[in-house]
Amino acid sequence: MECGIIGLPGCGKTALFCALTGTVASALPGGGVKPHIGVAQIPDPRLDIIAKYISTRKIVPATIQFVDLPGVPADAGAARANAFLSHARQVEAICHVVDCFSEATSAATVDKDIDSLQVELILADLQVAESSLHKTERPIRAGDKVAKARAALLLKVLEPLNDGRPIPPLAQWSTPEQKMLKSYGMITAKPILYVANVAENDLDGSSEAAKAVVRHAQSRGAAAVVICAALEAELAELDEADRAEMLGSLGLTESAIGPLARAVNEVLGLASFYTASDKEIRAWTIPAGATAPEAAGVIHSDLQRGFIRAECFAVDDLERHHDEKAIRAAGKLRSEGKHYQVQDGEVIHFLFNV
């Protein structure tokens, strides 16, 4: 799973990337055209709850890969714009960062900033759709059914694009359509999360600019989070004790990275389950609705191949009953078979035989 960070030049993409991945900004080559790629650990309060009741040697959080895509200045050449677009086509989800921290930002500048980037992406999708449609003509004349299905989809996609609107989100298309949209790398169909990058004195996002970002997201049926990327990047460089102290002095209990990472997971349609033993407690990421054998396969293909059953309980039940024996006694330890759909927030022990 890869999430691309996009936004106008100087909106704070690299600051956000550093905050997410714990990279020190000065270690990155700045202003370049090459994307930065890094892995963010998803802070997860459920891991702490599990560790409270099951003693272990190691805690392993789930991760998301982020790509910091360099902004394209208005006067940049076509080569740079194309390089940006080809990267944006490859990611699975998009974080669109909007500058709400500069002195001059207002609801009006936010609308203009979001629109200007969105127009670029719509034009890019429009171009792909038109040229791809053109390429289906000859095979359709030869009776190619796949080409016909592709053309039908492309015509549907061209409707909003020609109107200057993004493609409806992937979730609204049929499974074969989703596959085709992904294969074309349609950017505006990708799940999107808006990030209002606010100033240090607007951490709760009460400025007009931040509110405008949230409004825009809602109008597209998308999610938005408020974050001060520069502050989070500073926090990410501190050790745990110093971080807690700095958060405290700001009147905060948690870094905004946790909520942001969890929002990305949700936008991607992902859920988490956990494995817990005295060796390690670990968070795993699965598509929401995955079956027990599919979840087992995320850990190891052998577990999926030789799946017998899954013993599961909810993290909430662990918090209520404190140990597995009490959970079992309360009838909350379930034994599930191969058709079981794993629920978000379960601790699972897989029984298998290969």
x-or-dash pattern for ligand GTP, window 226-255, by CB under 6 A?
Answer: --xxx-------------------------
By CB under 6 A, tell whether 71 contacts ligand GTP. Answer: yes
Residue 161 C-alpha from the chain's centroid:
24
Q: What is the largest CA-CA distance in the chain?
A: 70
Indicate which of Mg ion, ligand GTP, none lies near residue 197 (CB less than 5 to 8 Å, by partner kind): ligand GTP
- Binding ligand GTP by CB under 6 A: which of 3, 4, 6, 14? 14
The two tokens of residue 227 are 């974050």
Nearest by Cα to 195 from 228, 221, 168? 228
Distances (CA, A) of 136 to 131, 200, 281: 9, 52, 51
Closer residue to Mg ion (CB): 14 or 255: 14
By CB under 6 A, tell whether 340 contacts ligand GTP. Answer: no
By CB under 6 A, tell whether 95 contacts ligand GTP. Answer: no
Shortest Cβ 42–Mg ion spacing (Å):
22
The two tokens of residue 151 are 């053309």
Shortest Cβ 35–Mg ion spacing (Å):
9
Closer residue to ligand GTP (CB): 32 or 251: 32
Q: In this structure, what DSSP letter does residue 343 have?
A: P
| Binding positions for Mg ion, rule: CB under 5 A | 13-14
d(C-alpha 339, C-alpha 353), whole Å: 17
Closer residue to ligand GTP (CB): 224 or 228: 228
Which stretch, 10-18, 121-129, 172-180, 204-212, contacts ligand GTP (CB under 6 A)?
Answer: 10-18
Q: Which residues contact 204 (CB under 8 A, 6 or more apart)?
A: 226
Q: In this structure, what DSSP letter does residue 221 have?
A: T
Indicate which of ligand GTP, Mg ion, none lies near residue 31 (CB less than 5 to 8 Å, by partner kind): ligand GTP
- Tell me the three-class secondary structure of 171-194, residue by residue: HHCCHHHHHHHHHHCCHHHCCEEE
- Binding ligand GTP by CB under 6 A: which of 10, 164, 176, 221? 10
d(C-alpha 330, C-alpha 158), whole Å: 56
d(C-alpha 51, C-alpha 55), whole Å: 6
Closer residue to ligand GTP (CB): 54 or 246: 246
- Binding ligand GTP by CB under 6 A: which of 4, 7, 35, 166? 7
Shortest Cβ 228–ligand GTP spacing (Å):
4
Number of residues that bind ligand GTP (CB under 6 A): 17
Distances (CA, A) of 65 to 4, 21, 92, 196: 9, 9, 10, 20
The two tokens of residue 59 are 């805690």
Indicate which of ligand GTP, Mg ion, none lies near residue 230 (CB less than 5 to 8 Å, by partner kind): ligand GTP
Closer residue to ligand GTP (CB): 226 or 347: 226
Please name the amino acid found at residue 225.
V
User: What does the CA dihedral 215, 220, 226, 229 come to, rounded to 10 degrees?
Assistant: -130
Closer residue to ligand GTP (CB): 20 or 228: 228
Which stretch, 107-115, 223-231, 250-258, 277-285, contacts ligand GTP (CB under 6 A)?
Answer: 223-231
Shortest Cβ 23–ligand GTP spacing (Å):
11
Q: Which residues bind ligand GTP (CB under 6 A)?
A: 7, 9-15, 31, 70-71, 101, 197, 199, 228-230
